[in-house]
Amino acid sequence: MARAYETVIGLEVHAQLKTATKLFCGCPTDYGAAPNTQVCPVCLGLPGALPVPNERAMELAAIAGLALGCDVRSESRFDRKNYFYPDLSKGYQISQFEHPLNLGGHLTFLVGDQEKTVGLTRIHVEEDAAKNLHGAGGGAATVVDFNRGGTPLIEIVSEPDLRSAVEAEAYLRKLRDVLMFLGVNDGNLEEGSFRCDANVSVRPVGQEEFGTRTEIKNINSFKFVRQAIDYEVSRQVGVLESGGRVVQETRGWNDVTGKTFSQRSKEDAHDYRYFPDPDLPPIVFGAERIEALRKAAPKLPEQLRAEWTSEWGLTPYDAEVLTGHPAIAAYFGEVAGALDAGGREPRAEAGKRAANFIQAEVLRDVKTSGLDATFSVPAADVAELLSRVQAGTLTGKQGKQVFSEMASSGEGAEAVIARLGVQAPISDTGALEGDIRAIIAANPAQHEQYKAGKTKVLGFFVGQVMRVTKGAADPATVNALLERLLQE
Amino acid sequence: MDDGKISSEQVRHVARLARLQLDDVEVEALRGQLDAILGYVAALDAVDVTALLPSFHAIPILSPLREDVATPGLTRERALAAAPASDGEGFAVPKVLEGA
Amino acid sequence: MSEPSPVAGVVDTAEAVRAGEQRAEDVVAQHVARAKARADLNALLHLDEERALSAARAVDERRARGEALGALAGVPVVLKDNLCLDGVPTTCASRILEGYRPPYNADCVERLIAEDAVIIAKANMDEFAMGSSNENSAFGPVKNPWDLTRAPGGSSGGSAAATAAGIGAVALGSDTGGSVRQPGAFCGVVAIKPTYGRLSRYGLIAFASSLDQVGTMTRDVRDGARVLRVLAGHDKRDATSAVEPVPDYEAACAAPVSGLRVGVLRAALDQVEDPDVRAAFSAAEQSLRDAGCDIVDIELPHAHHGVSVYYLVATAEASSNLARFDGMRFGLRVTGDDLLSTYERTRAQGFGPEVKRRIMLGTYALSSGYYDAFYIKAQKVRTLMVQDYQRAFERCDAVLSPTAPTPAFGLGEKTGDPLAMYLADIFTLPPSLAGLPAMHVPVGLGQASGLPVGVQVTTPAFTEVRMLQLAAALEARSGYVCAPPALFGGAG
């Protein structure tokens, strides 16, 4: 009989820091530029060039550390990791080895409806390697593009606390979410700005010590992480069940075959000869600096959800939807904030109004890409539009019409209203009373039902009024009038 | 004869780490020279450094970090000008096997 | 005051060009002519006559248009070949960089050009600045202008020889463990190694990053002071460059030294055997006493570990710094069967024996199992050496010592014994390891050797003003003139 095995997983995530320039030089980090057009003597490792750390990169790394409960060190240091490879311009990678910026920390996330907390070992800052373009120019040689070389990364190293591929995926999704909301990383897996190495081992259930682990390198989709871990677990169990031993090694993931494969290069006994980079003095972030970063850091989705459900009148579902992407959350924040600032209604009403409108109208055609999102109408314009509805100068229905026109024409609310000749809703009780009396008189059966306590027929009367007034009546006024006149 | 501070095998290992091709004559010559130097620096063994921190820089340096603002780099033509081999877009290097 | 050198120096040249008494083009032409006449010294690796003359003409044209000229107007400069000059071969005297032209200028080059200096040539050196005799150049040794059978010192031997021979008014070198001061001593020129961080290292091809500093070589102290003022200052491209104000170094050269306390390493001095070095030191000590300085005996109890600490720290850093010379993006490539053999062949053929030796030692000192015992241990002993100086400077304002244990030794004399060669740096290493400013001041010619001799002045970090003050006083009282007989004929 096959024994039962437990899976043990630790993840190392490389997340690109959302900076304008590289970690040690002023070259841009824009994705997709023509090869070797974002390079300089520093990132090409030319003789005599020197690295100078990017302040923003260090700040973003500290912000990530603070949000993930790390001990953010007031003094950290860069070391050199020495090895030769064509994508490494200097013959060493500058990375924080012995004294990383962030120590410890943890991440809590849901696996199904179960909460799980995974410990973090460290979050350190390092530079990315360049890109080997294989087979370019005839296929015989490798061609190297240094545009990516020197891009700032944080490496988030978890403890071996994960127990399944499903947990690993949930951890990664949550981690990406957090980093995106902090503005630290754009979460773009396809562009390689969020990559994962998985350390996987298995052990018989009940065994204390860990089994021999393998490291699967550079997996760049959530699906592949799950598949690669599942494959690797069954491979390792297979090895053990057939009496073999798992070899500690680096493995690659082939998403075509759906298998991991050994990457061990036999001739290279790894000895990275780490030592403090003598070109770089220690990075000093004093307590005040760290506190200021903590205060200025953007809020995380769970913080926003808690605030929005308790103060802004949102249901948990609304809050979940509106924290689906940092740009959407920011959009809602701007619209709701503007409505609340108008002071026309309680905050919870303003929040609900904004949430309903954004979910019903705005989210229909939002496009997100990384940290960016394109909205058909800017938040400020929607806020302006909704404040008119709030003030009663537009009905809700008119608001939707105007929005749809704004989205297609790109005009502001005022321009659309003027162009379409949208009339302010009739809230003049005198003007409406005649119409309403006539409608009641024309529908005696429904009137009787109402008086008998079937108040649902109110909706019928509202509809009639709206039809007669072609939607221009102010719903609140209509409701109030109907309730009074139907009693008569 | 490998009876000094450093063996021929170690010399070969270090040469591999440093990516230096050495022939047997060079290995033996270097073994002797490194042995003499390591013998000389062994005098440090006697120095008590308890409770001392290493001086990676002798003078404390408080230099500002770099602002995250782009600065002009090299054109591709200039970047590739000194390359031993290139295809006009990138640096051509001996074939790198995925995972090698 | 001493007699003027037979060839006009930095200050005199700049003032003459600024005043319109001399054209920069004529100055540069004279220096280029001297450089050509003294090709036998092998001091230069690259002489760009056209480029230099056209730069000089541009200076003259600016003056003709009435523009104010900089502090180094028309001053001809020789650059050690490890300083990047845009578009001009910069080889570090190594096969691995043969023909390499950097696409940018070193910070110090930019500063020189901004003050209207004219770069005329690149100087020979020990390969990658590793050596004390300039015999490690892939392009042949440099000869000492005072005696062509002798070494000019190293690693900035070409810079020192050129300066002594009147080629350029100033040469820039680099100093990691004595590489401007020791050749300064061998060739009888003033050589300044500023405080670590005083000058930018941007564009200086690294040997050992925590020790390297660009230094100046001139025929008198005031010239060095003027160039230092131009080069000093923070550079945002070098994270180790200091944010410290730059004082008027030139003015310091005229300040009195009376009352300054000068420390003397009496015990170390007793171990110096060379009579010329001993005599030069005694003369210097006496002249400072005469100038009103208080001489105090001091000790640097760990200074004798300097060679060990230096050769572990510097080679460790170098082993990593020189990893970028891999034949992939620039420089020599020797193609092998695969990537690994291409790396190994390129580096085996590209680097000379001393560079390989140091890469090997440094790689070993950083490798798994030896890092703590060698690299970290050496850096901790370095802490003791830093503390030695801190204690010494509680009792004195400057330390006076010999610069090198002997005057220039013969070419080939020490090439067979690396360790003996390393010991030539015994006096220059401790200030380097402590990051302190130190300079060589020639004080005369040795009676026994007939070769230049002088002393080293070391002061606390960022007190170059005081160092220059003492050096100027020593120079003024010595009567020394930099005029090698081989160049100028007759007695110097």
Beta bridge partners of A214: A200, A249
Mark whether C210 is an active-site residue. no
Choose the final residue of a domain: A263, A288, A313. A288
Residue A486, pLDDT score: 87
A52 touches chain B (CB under 8 A): yes
Kindly list the distances between the CA atom of residue A208 and the CA atoms of A168, A202, A212, A236, A249, in Å, as whole numbers in the listed order.
21, 11, 13, 18, 22
B8-46 adopts what CATH topology? Answer: Histone, subunit A (1.10.20)
Q: Chains with ≥3 Cβ pairs under 8 A against C? A: A, B
Residue C488, pLDDT score: 57
Tell me how far apart the alpha carbons of residues C220 and C152 are, in angstroms, rounded to a whole number: 18
For residues A54 and A171, state if they share a domain.
yes
Task: State the total domains in chain A.
Answer: 3
Interval A201-223: pLDDT, tens: 999 999 999 999 999 998 989 99
Residue A37, pLDDT score: 98
Determine which of C237, C359, C376 to mutate to test the interface with A (most A C-beta atoms within 10 Å): C237
Q: Given a cut of 60, is residue B2 above it in pLDDT?
A: no
Residue C492, pLDDT score: 35
For residues A166 and A306, state if they share a domain.
no
In a domain, A98, yes or no: yes
C279 min Cα distance to partner chain B (Å): 30
Number of H helices, E strands in chain A: 15, 19
Q: Is A418 exposed, middle or buried (0-12, 13-18, 19+ CB in 10 A)?
A: exposed
Domain boundaries, chain B: 8-46
Q: Per-residue confidence at A270, pLDDT binned at 50, 70, 90?
A: confident
For residues A387 and A452, state if they share a domain.
no
Kindly list the distances between the CA atom of residue A47 and the CA atoms of A94, C170, C229, C285, in Å, as whole numbers in the listed order.
16, 24, 26, 42
For residues A237 and A92, state if they share a domain.
yes
Rg (CA), chain B: 23
Helices A301-311 and A165-181 sit at what angle, rounded to 10 degrees?
70
Give average pLDDT by consecutive 10-residue segment, chain C, 492 residues.
70 97 98 96 96 98 97 98 98 97 98 98 98 96 97 97 97 98 98 98 98 98 98 97 96 96 92 95 97 97 96 98 98 95 98 97 96 97 98 98 96 87 90 98 97 98 98 96 71 36
Rg (CA), chain C: 21
A181 neighbors A329 (Cβ within 8 angstroms): yes
For residues A176 and A200, state if they share a domain.
yes
CATH 3.40.50.300 fits C10-256+471-488, yes or no: no
What average pLDDT does chain A have?
92
A150 neighbors A27 (Cβ within 8 angstroms): yes
* C360's tokens: 């090997």
Q: Which of C133, C156, C159, C179 is catalytic?
A: C179
In a domain, A44, yes or no: yes
Contact between A47 and C368 using a beta-carbon 8 Å cutoff: no
Mean pLDDT of B62-72: 93
Choose the final residue of a domain: A420, A444, A476. A420
Mean pLDDT of B47-61: 95
Size of chain B in residues = 100
What average pLDDT does chain B have?
91
Mark whether C80 is an active-site residue. yes
Residue B98, pLDDT score: 54
A9 min Cα distance to partner chain C (Å): 27
Q: Is the peptide bond before C159 cis (omega within 30 degrees of 0)?
A: no
Domain boundaries, chain C: 10-256+471-488, 303-382
Tell me how far apart the alpha carbons of residues C446 and B32 are, in angstroms, rounded to a whole number: 37
Q: Per-residue confidence at A433, pLDDT binned at 50, 70, 90?
A: confident
For residues A142 and A98, state if they share a domain.
yes
How many CA atoms lie less than 13 Å away from A355 in the CB half-sphere?
22
Interval A143-163: pLDDT, tens: 999 999 999 999 999 999 999
Positive/negative CA dihedral, C464, C435, C357, B20: negative
B21 min Cα distance to partner chain A (Å): 14
Q: Which of C329, C356, C353, C328 is nearest to C342 (CA)?
A: C328
Choose the final residue of a domain: A391, A420, A449. A420
Beta bridge partners of A276: A79
Q: Which of C155, C156, C174, C449 is catalytic?
A: C155
Q: Which of C343, C324, C487 is nearest to A46 (CA)?
A: C324
For residues A191 and A153, state if they share a domain.
yes
Q: B85-99 burial string, b = 16+ CB within 10 Å, else e?
A: bbbebbbbbbbbeee
The residue range of the domain holding A61 is 5-288
Q: Given a cut of 90, is residue B95 above it in pLDDT?
A: no
Nearest CA in chain B to A249: B99
Mark whether C179 is an active-site residue. yes
Report strand pairing: C398-402 vs C261-264: parallel
The single-letter code of the amino acid at A418 is: A
**Spatial CB neighbours of A173, under 8 Å, sequence gap ≥ 6:** A109, A222
**Spatial CB neighbours of B82, under 8 Å, sequence gap ≥ 6:** C100, C101, C103, C329, C330, C331
Contact between A28 and B70 using a beta-carbon 8 Å cutoff: yes
For residues A35 and A181, state if they share a domain.
yes
Q: Which of C450, C408, C402 is nearest to C426 (CA)?
A: C402
Q: How many CB atoms lie within 10 A of CB C290?
A: 11
Residue A264, pLDDT score: 67
